[in-house]
Amino acid sequence: MHTADTARSDPDLAGLMLRCGAGGAEAVIVLLRPLSPRTRPQVSVTADGRVRQFGATVVPPFTAVLLRADAAELVSGPWQSASELAVDVDDEQAPIRGVVPAAGLRAAFQALLASCPP
């Protein structure tokens, strides 16, 4: 889990979590405000000036926004060299924006992969 920079983030953004999923590593945006499980938020992540858009799914406990599988590919590559990730979750109620420092992302991702079942 990489915690959001509270000075530069909305209070509802907790951070970025990497976890093991059925198809390998998954990237999850963690919120403090629960969303409806029917919500399909659009998430933008900017790293080193490059913006990527993701369709996402709200998963239990409904404060977790699971990004599409190709987000995990970015975590394993381009995002590892970024100093921070700017996150924008476009929710029906109100957008949630913030910044997540990316220092240590490479080591965290490698440790996660070593513990994920094959």
Does pLDDT of 47 surpass 90? yes
In a domain, 35, yes or no: yes
Does pLDDT of 23 surpass 80? no
Whole-angstrom distance, CA of residue 63 vs CA of residue 56: 12
**Mean pLDDT across the stretch 10-29?**
92
Model pTM score = 0.91
- Total count of domains within the chain: 1
**Mean pLDDT across the stretch 1-23?**
93
Residue 30 has which token pair? 């963690």
Whole-angstrom distance, CA of residue 39 vs CA of residue 57: 7
Task: Identify the bridge partners of residue 50 per DSSP, sorted by sequence position.
Answer: 47
Q: How confident is the model at residue 80 (pLDDT cuts 50, 70, 90)?
A: confident
In a domain, 49, yes or no: yes
Greater confidence, 14 or 111? 14
In a domain, 110, yes or no: no
Range of the domain at 85: 2-103
Mean pLDDT of the chain: 92
Does pLDDT of 78 surpass 90? no
